[in-house]
Amino acid sequence: MNFFIAILGGFIGVILAIVVIIAVIYFKVRASVGGAQIGELKDAFTHAKEIARDEYTRVKSISGLTSLLEPRILRDFPEFNRDLLFSINEKNIRKILNGIEAKDVSEIDADPDLIYIEPKIRETIEDMKSNKIDEKFDNIEFNRSAISSYTKDDGKATIRLSTSLGYYYDSNRKDKKSYSDLKKQTRYTTEFVYVYDESKFDEKQLAISVHCKNCGAPITNLGDSHCEYCMAPVERINLRAWKMSSFKEDYNI
């Protein structure tokens, strides 16, 4: 009993020592800069917090060259539909965020439009489970999307989109702020690829990472019908379609 009392007394002594040190530092700073300056510092701190909250809720601008790039895309792909791609992009982002919140990859795994990005989302979800991380994305609303870049080479075409959206965000991540009473405004960059010449890809030059759903091994030939490692059947990918290949939030706040 005396042993626990001694430990408790030592702990209380440490706390009191910390309080005394903080008090000494405060009064020394106050004496050197004056009470008015202390008030100014408090006001500056409050103002900084207000700026952070304003930035959190500010609708993010997007960098777009849609009117310039769309004619080039239509010359290469006459069937291209900008509004349809924007709609698919929003659907994909919503499904990804919902999957991350639920920590469940099943709907993403079942969506052929997300076959290229599924391994990364699965890895993110497994990391969240291992580290007991929770994230919530409520009332997702999209503001605007635009095409920010377009390239066509090495057997594939790539369109990069910039998308502004907002949602109520909450998380126990230490590296991200969340205000439960404020709607977060952010921006995502996504890419879509269209493989128009499969012959350009070989085992040493994979532009897109696809894995076997049974054993996780990389599929080195996008036209394979079976995994070369476990021989599980592999559903042939419809290469001649725009599919999301990357997904990234631009504001890590």
| Each residue's pLDDT tens digit, 99-124 | 999 999 999 888 888 888 888 999 99
Say if residues 137 and 100 touch (Cβ distance below 8 Å). yes
**Contact criterion met (CB below 8 Å) for 166 and 141:** yes
Locate the domains of the chain by residue range: 1-57, 63-249
Max CA separation in the chain (angstroms): 85
Could you please state the CATH topology (level 3) that the domain comprising 63-249 is classified under: Nuclear Transport Factor 2; Chain: A, (3.10.450)
User: Can you give the pLDDT at residue 85?
Assistant: 96
Instruction: Please check whether residue 140 is in contact with residue 97, taking contact to mean a CB–CB distance below 8 angstroms.
Output: yes
Question: Is the full-model pTM beyond 0.85?
Answer: no
* pLDDT tens digits along 25-43: 666 666 666 555 655 555 5
